[in-house]
Amino acid sequence: MIILQNIKTPQQLRLMDATLLPQLCDEIRQVIIKTVSKTGGHLGSSLGAVDLITALHYVFDTPKDKIVFDTGHQAYAHKILTGRLDKFNTIRKKGGLSGFLKIYESEYDAFGAGHASTALSAALGMAMARDQKKETNKVVAVVADGSMTGGIAYEALQNAGQLKTNLLVILNDNQMFISDRVGALGTFLTKLMTKKYMLAAEDEAAKLVGKISNKAAKIAKRAARSILFSDALFGELGFRYYGPVDGNNVAEMVNILRQIKDVPGPVILHTVTKKGKGYAPAEAKPVKFHGLGIFDAETGETIGASDKITYTGAFSRALVKLAQEDESITAITAAMPEGTGLSAFRDKFPGRYYDVGIAEEHAATFAAGLATQGIKPVVAVYSSFAQRCYDQIQQDVALQNLPVVFALDRAGIVGEDGPTHHGVFDISLFRNIPGLIIAAPADENELQHMLKTAFEAKAPFILRYPRGSGAGVEMDKEMKALHIGKAQWLQKGKDANILAIGNCVRPALAAAEILKENGFDCGVANMRFAKPLDGVAIKEALAASPRIITVEDNMLAGGFGSAVLEHICDAGLKAQALRLGIKDIFVEHGKQAELYNDVGISPAKIAAAISKKYKKED
């Protein structure tokens, strides 16, 4: 790190000779590769954006000028260049740097970024605030092409075109989402780079002025490109369009940014970057290296992968098996076939698979439309992303009682990705919707049975399950439908009984064993369904002991425990209740086990909370 070690702030970066920038970018890439190989994280996008980010901080007066990143997983170079190099080895670790952007982590993080398609709206808000305050700073939104498939991005584009304020949008086009790019926009962007008549026009323009200088020829090429395409989409929305330009050429990026930074009104600069740039394994396998765990930096091979089937893998296998038996089963993803386990379904049944891009709202209503015609759709999406389609699930699916299955992966605490990705709100969010069934499996075997149950329910159905490896239980060869709203008693206790759901069932059992060693007899019920509840199981628990404990990996406010207490109250029952789950906080990032312990739902913490409460009452 000959150059990088001397760059503590963007102000120091801007004092550098521009000829040193390519070497600096190489050094940044090496730091990212070395660090992420040990911590895990989002590698491909961050490597691809190094040159672009370096050029932005070199040209713009940050933090006075605002750079707003979309999602944030492309912004590791931004963290390194803004005073966080010394802490970069703590990224995604508990107490360390976040893997995404946080306004309270650095003054250079203009806006928090974890979910896609938000940068344009946030940047436009900042630009209008600047105008209201009669200030003159620049505002730049850096948006990956995948994020442009989100509806909120288009809402912001049309609003920006209407307001006509000074705003630069960098469209960082790496020809990928998390997986392969899909949709009409992707096709359009590809055409911008490949149309024969565009290339011919560039050549003719360059010939006309080429005798003046090579620099003039390059400018003429860009002008021809912009004239041809500025009105094709972005021009009609009120933007001046420039590009496409090579976003992995830092010198070219510095030159073009200097040329357009003072252009008035809304401007789009279309840059083309390569995901995984500078690291051969990531360039060759961009999907794998979008986000991954620890790996060998020399070979790119993953280290320490579990042999146990993951919950995602169990869902994937069960879905393919069910789809082989039922041709009406159809799968939908919002640009995450690998992350949600739908890649196997896609490869097996391409005619029944739909990737709608980063458009969860559309996915839900699209599924509703399929369901009206006798198709059995499953929408596989991360729990935290399902928050975006509440209205569609309520209005378009549940209100019409359409049999759509929502497979919410990453429910509960996800670990190192932190608060933007923890799936700890879904039970509270969706439990109030009439007619909606919410189920959570205690292990991977139960998950496959619940998926079969979901397709046979003939009602709106949410199946939530956690990130990571399953419990390692034996998988039944045949799937069977479960009794909806029926719990499973694992053991009954005379001193107290735990009603646990989903990923908290096994920790509850372990806690009961700890309590048993201390002479406290505690039962455990696997409740299976947050809605409808098993009122009989609740009554049985209270008959054995008035002491009842609920355990969930969801927010306590409005969650599973609240549902149990509502039932107790409505049924006129009496209980000495304790609710364990996530309190009124945003859970930070760290390893899953660390965070479950922090929020009080590890086996030891469950046992301690029960002992503390009922010891006082004794």
Q: Name the CATH superfamily, with its identifier, for domain 4-284.
A: Thiamin diphosphate (ThDP)-binding fold, Pyr/PP domains (3.40.50.970)
Q: Where are the chain's structural domains?
A: 4-284, 311-464, 488-617
Q: Which CATH number fits domain 488-617: 3.30.230.10, 3.40.718.10, 3.40.50.920, 3.40.50.150?
A: 3.40.50.920
Measured at the CA of 419, the angle between CA 501 and CA 336, to 5 degrees, comes to: 80
Q: Which of 120, 197, 192 is nearest to 160 (CA)?
A: 120
The pLDDT of residue 379:
98
The pLDDT of residue 360:
95
E strand segments, 539-582? 547-555, 576-582
Q: Which of 202, 174, 197, 221 is nearest to 46 (CA)?
A: 174
Architecture of the domain defined by 311-464: 3-Layer(aba) Sandwich (3.40)
Residue 404 burial by Cβ neighbours in a 10 Å radius (0-12, 13-18, 19+): buried
Q: Which of 483, 484, 492, 606 is nearest to 539 (CA)?
A: 492
Q: Which of 21, 17, 44, 49 is nearest to 33 (CA)?
A: 44
Angle of helix 21-39 relative to helix 250-260, nearest 10 degrees? 110
The pLDDT of residue 347:
97
Note whether 467 and 291 are within 8 A (CB).
no
- Active-site residue (options: 218, 221, 275, 464): 275
Q: Which of 92, 75, 88, 79 is nearest to 35 (CA)?
A: 88
Q: Which of 587, 582, 586, 578 is nearest to 557 (CA)?
A: 582
Which stretches in the chain have pLDDT values below 70?
175-232, 616-618
> Quick check: is 275 catalytic?
yes
Do 488-617 and 4-284 have the same topology in CATH? yes
CA distance 284 to 75: 21
| pTM score, whole prediction | 0.90
CA distance 443 to 77: 39
Residues 6+ apart with CB under 8 A from 592: 413, 414, 415, 467, 468
- Active-site residue (options: 79, 92, 388, 579): 388
Read off the tokens for 593: 């086990």
CA distance 123 to 127: 6
One DSSP character per residue, 570-615 reads: HTT---EEEEEEE-SS----S-HHHHHHHTT-SHHHHHHHHHHHHH
- Active-site residue (options: 27, 202, 338, 360): 360
Alpha helices, DSSP H only, in 151-195?
Answer: 151-163, 184-194
Note whether 275 and 286 are within 8 A (CB).
yes
Measured at the CA of 24, the angle between CA 8 and CA 99, to 5 degrees, comes to: 65
Tokens 């948006």 sit on residue: 143
Note whether 78 and 102 are within 8 A (CB).
no
CA distance 528 to 137: 54
Read off the tokens for 209: 């002025």
The pLDDT of residue 196:
46
> Quick check: is 388 catalytic?
yes
